[in-house]
Copies of this chain bind each other. A is one copy, B any other.
Amino acid sequence: MGLKFRPVDASFYDLFAQSASHLTTGASLLAEMLAEGSDRDDVARRMREAEHEADETTHAIVRRVNSTFVTPFDREDIYSLASGLDDIMDMMDEVVDLVLLYGVQELPAGFDKLVEVIQECARITAEAMPRLQSMKDLDEYWIEVNRLENAGDKTYRRTLASLFDGRYEALEVLKLKDIVESLEAAIDCFERVANIVEQIAVKES
């Protein structure tokens, strides 16, 4: 492992933890957006704020990489992880934006299940980030994200098929399809982050 013998700037870990904590905020806002009777304009405004704060954290990580001589792991990996976490936030922001822009009224079953998967992914990603310092127990994190992504994929495909069951007009299918695809893309982004963490752990071990 070796990490503990290197003089490293511990606050990289803090910044990654911060970055992942924006994701739990984002996931909650996503759930609120899709809930019935929510004030969508207000949720979208708070999502934009959260996304902006996440951007700040990402830039703080990049600035620190640029100004730090010894980094806890490879510069490129820090960079990949930071942008991977940022991509998740962007994707959650996209979902909120699409729901608002398309003015979709009733969201079919399946959408809320995907949001639950996203919330769970956000929760365990936020929990795992502080463990980057010790590199301990990270495997259970990436295994669980992969399991969630597989389960989410099944839900995604069933939800996709259900859009064609005759209840919806073609234009409505198009809108709902965009939203469900973005939900699935957010879950994929979580998996990509888990893969990056796995690769970092493989290198460091």
Q: Which residues of A contact B (CB under 8 A)?
A: 62, 65-66, 75-76, 79, 83, 94, 97-98, 101-102, 157-158, 160-161, 164, 169-171, 173-175, 177-178, 195, 198-199, 202-203, 205
Other CB < 8 Å A-B pairs besides A94-B157, A170-B170, 20 of them?
Answer: A65-B202, A66-B202, A66-B205, A75-B202, A76-B199, A76-B202, A76-B203, A79-B202, A83-B195, A97-B157, A98-B157, A101-B157, A101-B160, A101-B161, A102-B161, A164-B175, A170-B174, A171-B173, A174-B174, A174-B177
Return chain B residues, CB-CB under 8 Å to A203: 75-76
* 21 contacts across the A-B interface (CB closer than 8 A): A62-B198, A66-B202, A66-B205, A75-B202, A75-B203, A76-B202, A79-B199, A79-B202, A83-B195, A94-B157, A101-B157, A101-B158, A101-B160, A102-B161, A160-B178, A164-B171, A170-B170, A170-B174, A171-B173, A173-B174, A174-B177
Q: How far is the CB of A83 from chain B (nearest CB, A)?
A: 7
Return chain B residues, CB-CB under 8 Å to A65: 202
Return chain B residues, CB-CB under 8 Å to A175: 164
